[in-house]
Homo-oligomer: A and B are copies of this chain.
Amino acid sequence: MAPRHGRLELHQVGVTEIKKPISVRRADRTVTLSASFGVSVDLPAARKGSDLSRNAELLAELVDRTAHAPVESLEAACQSIARELLVRHPYASESRARASADYFLPRGIAPDRESLEDYRLLAEARAFRNGDASVRTRRRIGAEAVGMTACPCAMENVRERLSGEYPALRSAELQGLPMITHNQRNRTRLTFELDEGVEVEADEIIAAIEAAQSSPTFAILKRGDEARLVLNAHRNPKFVEDVVRDLLASIPQRFPMLPDGVEVIAETTSEESIHKYNVVAEHRTTVGQLRAGAAA
């Protein structure tokens, strides 16, 4: 029996977890990402169903063909998909396309130790039908990188405690000796939300994240390298609070071309070695506010 009620509009109707390989053009090469897509549109009250089969067709057309004609970026693909969603669902006023994929960049603690490290790309585009039938879009471009944090607080407490046991540690010669602390995997994500036409390069986002952690991490570490990385992290101890603040503070200088209105979201999780739970920090602001803060 049909419910006796006026039909509601719906904010989102779509498909999720469509997996597709997508070929993306980089400066010096083409890379193929194994991406997971989700797309949706709104549904007005007057319409019973969104023709969902159109979504899979559209993804097949726009994504499968990148095997022969690579796209600029995952977010450029999302933007094309979001625009095309409004063409194929003419009743809809808004659309959204999301994608995430593993991504690889060459990295090494030294030039002869390079290998491909894995990251995660996150892209989203939304398209809005204007009153005059033109369409405007907004995009999100994000990336996630795993690195390392070393805790500054436990380090200070250890110094105190060890100085009791080993009074020699208080000697002038040992000022600045880095002390033991807990350190752990840190997973940090930086996302920009911006208008069409403004570009942010994923590789730059990843570089910004890695600079804000206590240290980046590497697949290949020979024994001397481990000590170097570990010392580097302990000379740069950070709370999750510091990771988010330092990451956001670096944005005005790292991304000078971004307009003030661009939104920025920084999120970080440290998988604490001394606890079974995670600690997290998160902030959302704008490039303009970050510039004002830097000038202060």
Spell out A's residues near B (CB within 8 Å).
Answer: 3, 5-21, 31-34, 38, 40, 43, 48-50, 52-53, 56-57, 59-60, 64, 101-102, 104, 114-118, 146, 148, 151, 153-154, 157-158, 160-162, 166-169, 171, 173-174, 177-185, 215, 217-224, 226-231, 233-234, 239-241, 244-246, 248-250, 269, 271-285, 293-294, 296
Contacts and interface: CB of A to CB of B under 8 A. Distances in A.
The 8 closest A-B pairs by CB, nearest first: A60-B115, A157-B227, A19-B118, A5-B249, A32-B32, A34-B34, A12-B282, A154-B226
A34 B102 contact: yes
A123 B155 CA distance: 36
Contacts of A17: 276-278
Contacts of A231: 158, 161-162, 180
Contacts of A228: 161
Given A12-B283, A57-B220, A230-B274, 12 more contacts: A10-B282, A11-B283, A12-B282, A21-B116, A33-B34, A118-B276, A162-B231, A182-B183, A182-B230, A226-B274, A229-B274, A271-B271
Contacts of A40: 280, 282
Contact of A177 (B157, B162, B282): B162
Contact of A277 (B56, B244, B269, B273): B56
B282 A11 contact: yes
Nearest to A176: B166
22 contacts: A8-B285, A12-B281, A12-B283, A13-B281, A15-B275, A18-B219, A18-B276, A33-B34, A40-B280, A40-B282, A50-B241, A53-B220, A56-B115, A60-B219, A154-B230, A161-B228, A178-B180, A183-B183, A185-B271, A185-B273, A217-B274, A219-B275
A273 B184 contact: yes
Contacts of A118: 19-20, 276
A175 to B, nearest CB: 9
Instruction: Name the residue in A154, A162, A178 with the highest tally of chain B Cβ atoms < 10 Å from its Cβ.
Output: A154
Contacts of A33: 34
Given A8-B249, A21-B31, A53-B220, A166 B177 contact: yes
B171 A168 contact: yes
B221 A53 contact: yes
B220 A3 contact: no
Nearest to A47: B241
Nearest to A61: B115
A13 B218 CA distance: 20
A217 B281 contact: no
A5 B166 contact: no
